[in-house]
Structure 1
Amino acid sequence: MKKTQLKNSLLLLLTATIWGVAFVAQSVGMDHVGPFTFNAIRSIIGGIVLIPCIFFLDHRKSAQKEELPSPQQQVEQTGTLILGGVCCGILLALASSFQQMGIQYTTVGRAGFITACYIVIVPILGHFFLSKKCGATIWIAVALALAGLYLLCITDGFSVGKGDLLVMVCSLLFSLHILVIDYFSPKVDGVKMSCIQFFVCGFLCAIPAVFTEPIVLADIFAAWAPILYAGVMSCGVAYTLQIIGQKDMNPTVASLILSLESCISVLAGWILLNQKLSARELSGCVLMFAAIILAQLPSGKKA
């Protein structure tokens, strides 16, 4: 069990790393295309990338001669899989769209901080609505992570503007997305559910893109690198790793690890965009890592 949790924690850390770098891709991509167009294309690419992975994994299961469920169980599992994929896809479309729109009106640092506030929203929602009990250690880790995010991202005072409000809605939606994944991931194939959610997300984002944004092929080709990274890595790889990594994990601990994307986004900006880290930002990084380590420590009485 401990090995499984460690493996899942590493998968979630890798997810956070990919997402952190994706903030740079999102910022650069928005120089050429609108938010709905960007999200629609990246999501469809993410879904396409997963199709060969699904065939490979199914072939591997057949080769290993794993016991197949009965026809009735297959129907039930398929229904649960579709329901989970659609629910995740709707929430992902809403959350990513609010985030992309918010980035246009606020700084990347503020967007990263407010988005990562799901580390506070997830345990609150889980505690009051899903009976997900959290010990004192987890709550202390949440407080540390929140303080670290503030030091890391908010360097010029805190004010709430149009972009901040949009990203606040995004944070709430990502919190719901994490909890929905926590509910469905133990019941279905994570890769298949991830594939469904991307096609649902891409379709939903394409509708407002067609009616509200100029879709110019030359602009899409100009943004090919950030779109491809966001589609293949941020969508196809990272969101699938999130679904697999969250399996049998406390959703609060998972959200704490995933919140490292803000820390990594600052480091990515430093490395890729030559943005230097101040002493304040470095202190924020230290608090973030301390929070993650604290959240991983065993708690309660040993058997």
Structure 2
Amino acid sequence: MNKTKNTLLLLLTAFIWGVAFVAQSVGMDYVGPLTFNAARFIIGAVFLIPCIAFLDVLKKKDSAKSEAPSAGCQNLPSTDPTDRKTLLIGGLCCGIAIAIASTLQQYGISMTTVGKAGFITALYIVIVPILGIFLKKKPRLIIWVSVILALAGLYFLCMTDSLSFSKGDTLVLLCALAFSIHILIIDYFSPRVDGVRMSCIQFFIAGILCGIPALILEHPRFSSLVAAWAPILYAGILSCGVAYTLQIVAQKNYDPTIASLILSLESVFSVLAGWVILHQALAPREIFGCILVFIAIILVQLPVRKKA
């Protein structure tokens, strides 16, 4: 049941991120990449503060119902300095990784085609299991088959021109590497800390890391931010505040390679969002690519037959 719930949460995350490509494209018409990222990360962090307070209230109520009160024992939040230190380190590492990945992606998209950027970014589904080998996490054979199918599907879905690498392509490739590291960092810290709190910290860190150079290099204007309010709010509240938090919660005790495969569906959802919102029709090869990616996700979710 937990695996099914986590799978559904990761699918929802991929859907939100897929639609966010539309918001990112529209937002770049008004503000620079660093300004857009800084605004959405800060909004995402602020959005999570009342969510944390609300979840704490729910946890206290659940704890009060499930445990009988005893003398001298109260359900107080943990004040272990080790836990707080782990939470801060996890939030800092995630914040640095996501700031680097998102900045590289925004700059890369401005220098290359959207199709090539989508394909190259999705290479994190290959990079994650490769990096996992160095962390002594040996992927199953079916995972490698799913990775190959997903890559083939993403090729038909996203690639529309030559495979030549430009400066923008190189930046997006580095972005895929940074996103892979972000997934592995979450895999390490999410079982050890509160996922929502770590998500809030990572967005504040990422917002600061993007905001300082944005003020120096892009000189953002308030009028430009107001003009881009809709895509910034979507990217901040849903893409950051909701989706990245869902990713952290869902990846708890979940295979990071399988998680990366499910999250790669954001490319499928981005094409569908462009079709529905921007009225961009799907070509037969794009439909075929969607089918291949969905097959890869289904294969990787098949249960493992255990030896007697």
Q: TM-score range by the shorter chain?
A: over 0.9
1:98 corresponds to? 104
Is 1:268–2:266 an aligned residue pair? no
- Give the total of aligned pairs: 298
For 1:302 and 1:54, the matched residues in 2 are separated by 43
Query: Structure 1 length normalisation: TM-score?
Result: 0.96
Is 1:76–2:78 an aligned residue pair? no
For 1:300 and 1:188, the matched residues in 2 are separated by 32
Partner amino acid for 2:204? F
Partner amino acid for 2:219? P
Superimposed CA distance per residue, residues 70-106 of structure 1 (whole angstroms, 9 cap, x where no aligned partner): 64xx211111001000000000000000000111011
Superimposed CA distance per residue, residues 240-273 of structure 1 (whole angstroms, 9 cap, x where no aligned partner): 0000011111100000000000111011111111
Match of 2:125 among 114, 119, 123: 119
1:40 corresponds to? 38
| Shift, 1:302, TM fit | 4.9
Superimposed CA distance per residue, residues 207-235 of structure 1 (whole angstroms, 9 cap, x where no aligned partner): 11011103111111111100000000000
| Gaps in structure 2 of 5+ consecutive residues | 65-74
CA contact (8 A) 1:144 1:291 kept: yes
For 1:124 and 1:300, the matched residues in 2 are separated by 24
For 1:244 and 1:208, the matched residues in 2 are separated by 30
CA contact (8 A) 1:137 1:299 kept: no
Partner amino acid for 2:242? V
For 2:123 and 2:87, the matched residues in 1 are separated by 28
Task: Provide the secondary structure at the position in 2 that maps to 1:167.
Answer: helix
Change (3 A) 1:169 1:69: same
| Shift, 1:174, TM fit | 0.2
Match of 1:175 among 177, 180, 196: 180
1:299 corresponds to? 304
Partner amino acid for 2:5? K
Is 1:147–2:152 an aligned residue pair? yes
1:219 corresponds to? 224
For 1:62 and 1:271, the matched residues in 2 are separated by 42
Is 1:194–2:199 an aligned residue pair? yes
1:244 corresponds to? 249
| Shift, 1:299, TM fit | 2.0
Partner amino acid for 1:243? I
Partner amino acid for 2:135? L
Is 1:285–2:290 an aligned residue pair? yes
For 2:18 and 2:275, the matched residues in 1 are separated by 12
| Shift, 1:68, TM fit | 4.9
| Shift, 1:108, TM fit | 1.5
For 1:85 and 1:302, the matched residues in 2 are separated by 39
| Shift, 1:298, TM fit | 1.3
1:14 corresponds to? 12
| Shift, 1:285, TM fit | 0.2
Moved more, 103-112 or 228-237: 103-112
Change (3 A) 1:70 1:216: closer
Change (3 A) 1:11 1:285: same
For 1:47 and 1:116, the matched residues in 2 are separated by 26
For 1:79 and 1:300, the matched residues in 2 are separated by 40
Moved more, 104-113 or 182-191: 104-113
| Shift, 1:107, TM fit | 1.5
| Shift, 1:158, TM fit | 1.6
Task: Provide the secondary structure at the position in 2 that maps to 1:65.
Answer: helix
2:239 corresponds to? 234
Partner amino acid for 1:39? N
For 2:47 and 2:78, the matched residues in 1 are separated by 29
Match of 1:161 among 153, 162, 166: 166
For 2:24 and 2:306, the matched residues in 1 are separated by 45
Task: Provide the secondary structure at the position in 1 that maps to 2:63.
Answer: coil
For 1:65 and 1:33, the matched residues in 2 are separated by 46
Moved more, 280-289 or 100-109: 100-109
| Shift, 1:157, TM fit | 2.4
Partner amino acid for 1:36? L
Task: Provide the secondary structure at the position in 2 that maps to 1:105.
Answer: coil
Partner amino acid for 1:44? I
